[in-house]
Structure 1
Amino acid sequence: MVTILIILYFISAITNSKNFVILSGVIMSLVFYPGTFVFVVILAFFVTQCKRFIQNKESILALTFLIVISFKNAFLPIDIRENILGISFVLFQVCYYLKEDMSMYAIVSRLSFFPQMYCGPVVKPSGFVRNKKMNIRSLALYHVIFSVGIFYKTYITYITHYVYSNDGSLLNSIYWWAYMYSDFLSWSLMGIGIAGLSGFKMPLSFKAPFFSKNISQFFRKWNITIYQWCMDFIKIRVYNKFWAYTNIGIATASLALWHGLGINFILFGAFNFVYFFFQNKIKKHNNLLWSSQIFYYAFIGFLFNGFLPSDLIYTSSSWLYLILWVLSVLIMLLFDYKSFSLIRKKINRYPSTVILLCLVFVAFTLFFRKVDGQFYYAQF
């Protein structure tokens, strides 16, 4: 899958054509994941033909989609789910198309756009409008974004996954977060980079989530577009402040249903719902709130994965990887904290040089590094 994204990166870098890159992404979706593509075509036909019957019923349809996704992830064998990757992102996204007057081809081409179909983010129809103010500095920035995504996937995700998968200690939840974030972020950055080079701007999936002081803020910054989707569609009518908070809690807990109906996911959702209200009660005690958030990171991975630690400390014999893990996490946090500001001046001053360096780095990665890997969340 990474190789396909690199090919699309070079296509978008050479052509800078939104329509050509979207068409290329559609063709690659058809060739490599025909099961998902057929599902997209059926869904687009349903939207165009049944629009008048489902208008103003977006919330009901969204809840139905969420339940379908939950049952799929709970009961379909993994080998079948691997042939229909990205179904949940398609269903999430189509809810925004119900009020749009679009042709079937336009819906199919956007829902099956390869760089974001399997990895997110959830893009609204307006997200595919071409930006007319592109210049060489903007292009250089998107080259850097894609290159950072490749760097994360090829190096940092490899390290964080090794440490997480070879550990059974009390820190396993922390290692799991590092792996999930590096992997998820890498795919998201690559998709944003390809789209940007083609002239349109996909929304961010992450915005420094680990600098959040509570789980509500965390989920608004972690997988931003799916959390916003929950807030837009999975809600109840509110009449007072308490129920307004309840909607946020419901949106936070609903994210668990995306993963399936396993007892670990149900407990994960229930814990998020209860923990949201607990943190709301202690929000005036800043130190206690920060401590509760650190506890959340250290505990919730065990609940999500249905895993109990068997050791107190890191159990792998390779301490070199643990050192590299610390370095990888520091790199990610530094990028989050500075948000590319460390390299923005260089981009503005030497955009052509930055573009050339990015092209060389991506080409080197393609030919001299193992770049293919499965996106963990694409199966959900």
Structure 2
Amino acid sequence: MMSFDPYGNPTYFVLLFIALLPLMIGLLYGRRSHVYESIISFIFLLLTFGGVKWHTGIALICYLIYQIALVWLYSKYRQRPDSPNKGWIFVVSVILAIAPLAAVKITPAVSHGASSIIGFLGISYLTFKVVQTIMETRDGVIKEFHPVLFGQFLLFFPTISSGPIDRYRRFVKDYDSVPTRSKYLGLVEKGVRYIFLGFLYKFILAYIFGTRMLPVVEHAALQAHGISWALVGVMYVYSMDLFFDFAGYSLFAVGISYLMGVETPMNFNQPFKSKNIKDFWNRWHMTLSFWFRDFIYMRLVFFFMKHKVFKSRITTANVCYVINMLIMGFWHGETWYYIVYGLFHGLAMVVNDAWLRYKKKHQAQIPSNKFTEYFAIFLTFNVVCFSFLIFSGFLNTLFFTARP
């Protein structure tokens, strides 16, 4: 049986558009068939997790049953008229939701590089969706829980492998309704545009930067044995490759979602035009950034302020920035460069906030014009590219890996 990486093979797109055509015709005439959507979802999940990857498909099924049961039990507890909304039950539920992902992340570190048998492509993003649903259920934002709809939410195949990370209520609103003809035509127009832009990004620009240029500058940097202009080249080329590859994938996911009448949120918004590091995280991998902001950072701030851990609001915010970004670093992996990457961005957020406070206090003395705006963009771009050099792991290869 064939097995495809999502959006990684021209045959995948041919099969995809053949499968989507009846669904698109139905939406054009005001009808949505959940049965047909379920069938094509099953087929494309089978293409992703079947064949030689059959064991990951089994892991996905077990994971799905486990998480649906967990969220269903917690929602039943919260929907009771006399529900006390006890914090410890919420904490245990979140820990249980994270446990499979934690096992997958920890296993290679404790078993000499061996992968976990419960791991599969996209487990991180599904876990984010599960935890978000539990938290919003606890907050009373999600009033009703439907196991089948929740399963559709988790298994929505355009986004299952690498996001974007949608929100349960937003997804259900789209999935349970049919857009008007004019709105759907607008979605199709945008979806097709995003897909073609995705081809440009992922298969042309990412190929140029990642396949043609990156090996050349990496080889030159390794030959230079230390800090060199070639290393600067690695920094910029890797940053471009990372952006165009991931942004291209995200455009495919969003474009296909639009063709299915689901307005999956965008993941990138011209991140290299950011004027500061906080602006960058409002533009780069936005669904992940907003998830960490809403479900980790804001809740840490609330917890610390409620328990008066720090006297100063500024100190509270700074500590939470660092913790938040460190968790993001650990999420990427347990190797030192991912952790340093997270710490780097946490400290960058602290410095950025300090500068914004200083700038506000001394705005009469600090010029604000086109030059300062462009300089801010230039500075932010270079800070971000340096962080991506750390993230790439190339510094580990250059300075800490023995070479013949």
Instruction: Tell me the TM-score normalized by structure 1.
Output: 0.71
Q: What amino acid maps onto 2:203 in structure 1?
A: T
What is aligned with 2:54?
Answer: none
The structural deviation recorded for 1:223 is 1.0
Cα deviation 1:288-337 (Å, max 9, x = unaligned): 744542331342123223323999xxxxxxxxxxxxxxxxxxxxxxxxxx
Q: Which aligned pairs between 1:294-309 and structure 2 lie closer than 5 A?
A: 294-308=381-395
Q: What amino acid maps onto 2:274 in structure 1?
A: S
What is aligned with 1:326?
Answer: none
What is aligned with 2:48?
Answer: 32
Cα deviation 1:344-371 (Å, max 9, x = unaligned): xxxxxxxxxxxxxxxxxxxxxxxxxxxx
Q: Distance in 1 between matches of 2:380 and 2:189?
A: 36
What is aligned with 1:185?
Answer: 247
Q: Distance in 1 between matches of 2:323 and 2:132?
A: 20
The structural deviation recorded for 1:202 is 0.5
The structural deviation recorded for 1:172 is 1.0
What is aligned with 1:119?
Answer: 162
Change in Cα spacing, 1:92 to 1:23, as seen in structure 2 (3 Å) is: farther
Cα deviation 1:253-301 (Å, max 9, x = unaligned): 4321221221111111111111212223334367474454233134212
User: 1:151 pairs with 175, 200, 210, which one?
Assistant: 200
Change in Cα spacing, 1:81 to 1:230, as seen in structure 2 (3 Å) is: farther
What is aligned with 2:334?
Answer: 261
Cα deviation 1:168-197 (Å, max 9, x = unaligned): 222212111111111111111111111111
Q: Distance in 2 between matches of 1:81 and 1:306?
A: 26
Change in Cα spacing, 1:188 to 1:71, as seen in structure 2 (3 Å) is: same
- The answer as to 2:165 corresponding to 1:132 is no
Q: What amino acid maps onto 1:256 in structure 2?
A: G
What is aligned with 2:226?
Answer: none
What is aligned with 1:44?
Answer: 68
The structural deviation recorded for 1:244 is 3.8
What is aligned with 1:91?
Answer: 127
Backbone CA RMSD of aligned residues: 3.1
Structure number with greater CO (CA < 8 Å, separation at least 6) is 1
Contact 1:145 1:192 in 2 (8 A): yes
Cα deviation 1:144-174 (Å, max 9, x = unaligned): 2122213322222211211223322222121
Any stretches of 5+ residues in structure 1 without a counterpart?
Answer: 312-380
Q: Identity rate of aligned residues, in percent?
A: 19
Instruction: Report the 3-state secondary structure (helix = DSSP H, G, I; strand = E; otherwise coil) of the residue aligned with 1:221.
Output: coil
Q: What amino acid maps onto 1:164 in structure 2?
A: L
Q: Distance in 2 between matches of 1:165 and 1:269?
A: 26
What is aligned with 1:73?
Answer: 105
- The answer as to 2:54 corresponding to 1:11 is no
Contact 1:302 1:308 in 2 (8 A): yes
User: 1:231 pairs with 293, 296, 299, which one?
Assistant: 293
The structural deviation recorded for 1:205 is 0.8
Cα deviation 1:193-243 (Å, max 9, x = unaligned): 111111121011111111112222111211111111111211313446413
The structural deviation recorded for 1:118 is 0.5
Q: Distance in 1 between matches of 2:236 and 2:244?
A: 12
Q: Distance in 1 between matches of 2:270 and 2:296?
A: 25
Which deviates further from its counterpart, 256-265 or 122-131? 122-131
Q: What amino acid maps onto 1:303 in structure 2?
A: I
